[in-house]
Amino acid sequence: MSKVSSSKVSWIARSGLGLAALFGFALPAAAGTLDTVKQRGTLQCGVSEGVVGFSEKDAQGSWRGFDVDFCRAVAAVVLGDAGKVAFTPLSASQRFDALKGGTVDLLARNSTWTLGREAELGLAFTGITYHDGQGFLAKRALKVDSALSLDKAKICVEAGTTTQLNLADFFKANSMTYEEKVHPSAAEAFAAFEGGQCDVLTRDQSALHGERLRLAKPAEATVLPDVISKEPLGPVVRSDDFPWFTVVKWVNFALVNAEELGVSGANLDEALKSTKPDVRRFTGAEGGFVDFRASSRFAPETPSSSAL
């Protein structure tokens, strides 16, 4: 999937509304971030400054998108209300410091899972929510149909990202040169591309398709077919808080299971009546999930139909 539509992924929030009634975990009493979020009554979630389909504000000023809906699902489980989320837009250079410093409880900001980020920054990725890959948005005036034809091109890239490193590796591996135009944020890199400061914009492919549509003249640019990297994107938390890591990780897993089983907040009542063993176990209609839920330290004490 190269382009994401927030309307197609809004099922995450609907599914999340029912997750508090679907599962729970027996966690230590001193749960750190978990206790902080419950006492505050709001989940602080870091998102991008605006990536189509992942996190952006609509015409009414409400946050929409894939990453936004994941945050809402976590809030639904922890607080019993998908609306109890405060979103903080962060640039690539700000995101990890904001998480480490406690400005946000959770980062759901199209961030690539790497060994270095976990080993060196004290972070923990809770899983993969989207498999992406780096690509190129090129102006049609260049008359190129492959990244291998970009020798000597002027390329705009956001600073402080794996994108910048992948770009250098790709050109070195293919014995090509390029003129790098580095910008502190994705928005500034896009503006530079649209303003003619560079011929090519490089980002994750999912973002590039959205960026092309934002151009005043989308037909004058094209996303090249080449994918030069693997970009496993997922939510991030601090590595020193295992209970919180566990909650976020299993919300992710539960959402994947819910999609596979066809269970959502909209049809949960019907799912509870299902005769399929896997659906019944998932919903807690039978099996150990009911016992886990009874001892849960983070699900609402009395999940009601309004939270489903």
Nearest 5°: phi and psi at 239? -80, -10
As a whole number, the mean pLDDT across the chain is: 85
Confidence of residue 289 (pLDDT cuts 50, 70, 90): low
12-35: b (≥16 Cβ within 10 Å) or e = bbbbbbbbbbbbbeebeeebbbbb
Burial of 99 (0-12, 13-18, 19+ CB in 10 A): buried
pLDDT digits (tens, 9 = 90+) for 63-118: 999 999 999 999 999 998 999 999 999 988 899 999 999 999 999 998 999 999 99
> How far, in Å, CA of 38 to CA of 267, rounded?
27
pLDDT digits (tens, 9 = 90+) for 220-267: 999 999 999 999 999 999 999 999 999 999 999 989 988 999 988 788
Position 5, amino acid: S
Position 284, amino acid: G
Is pLDDT above 50 for 168? yes
Contact 136, 226 (CB under 8 A): yes
Nearest 5°: phi and psi at 100? -65, -35
pLDDT digits (tens, 9 = 90+) for 104-156: 999 999 899 999 999 999 999 999 999 999 999 999 999 999 999 999 999 99
Confidence of residue 7 (pLDDT cuts 50, 70, 90): very low
Range from 66-80, 151-165, 268-282 carrying the lowest mean pLDDT:
268-282
pLDDT digits (tens, 9 = 90+) for 205-225: 999 999 999 999 999 999 999
287: region left, alpha or beta (phi > 0 left; psi from -120 to 50 alpha) = left
Write down the pLDDT at residue 12: 46
Write down the pLDDT at residue 266: 84
Write down the pLDDT at residue 50: 84
The tokens for 46 are 């870091």
Write down the pLDDT at residue 52: 85
Range from 43-57, 202-216, 293-307 carrying the lowest mean pLDDT:
293-307
Q: What is the DSSP secondary-structure string of 43-83?
A: EEEEE-S-BTTTBEE-TTS-EESHHHHHHHHHHHHHHS-TT
Domains and CATH numbers, the chain: 6-130+233-307 (3.40.190.10), 134-229 (3.40.190.10)
Alpha helix positions (H), the chain: 6-9, 11-19, 33-40, 66-79, 92-100, 115-121, 162-173, 186-194, 205-214, 242-261, 268-271, 277-283, 289-294
Is pLDDT above 60 for 300? no
161: region left, alpha or beta (phi > 0 left; psi from -120 to 50 alpha) = beta
pLDDT digits (tens, 9 = 90+) for 183-202: 999 999 999 999 999 999 99
The tokens for 209 are 């398709």
| Whole-structure pTM value | 0.80
